[in-house]
Amino acid sequence: MLDESLGNEADLQRLIDWGGKIHGHLKLVKMGGIGPTVRAARRLNAAGVPFMLGQMNEGAAATAAALHVACTTRPAHAELYGADGLGNDPVTGLRYHQGLVSSQSTCGLGIVFDPARAEFIQEFEQ
């Protein structure tokens, strides 16, 4: 399975050219966000190439986005643990239960951002 190797259209085409002999692991951060990842997943589905959707420890906002991409594209597997156990995440609304993650059934990603809990790593002066 190609994991960190998938990050652009050329990588995706190379995987498709192998005809499903190697699986893909799509990550929103590597592919460039929700739209590019959905397009990549649709291309893999159309080509019959198995893939999974994953992420790193990116917090609840990114996990919610990846969850919605997974619901849309139906990968063979998904590892969406990026918010599980984070103590200082300013985003709430995800639930983990028995190995599954879900979000609230509301508009958007089903999450809530609390700016009072956000920590700035670095500020830039202009």
| pLDDT, tens digit, 9 for 90 and up, residues 77-95 | 999 987 777 778 899 888 8
Partners of 112 in the β-ladder: 92
pLDDT higher than threshold 80 for residue 98? yes
Classify residue 14 as left (phi > 0), alpha (psi -120 to 50) or beta.
alpha
CATH of 9-83, one of 3.50.50.60, 3.30.70.580, 3.40.50.970, 3.20.20.120: 3.20.20.120
Asked whether the beta carbons of 43 and 12 are under 8 A apart, the reply is yes
How many residues would you count in the chain?
A: 126
pLDDT in tens, 33-74: 999 999 999 999 999 999 999 988 888 999 999 999 999 999
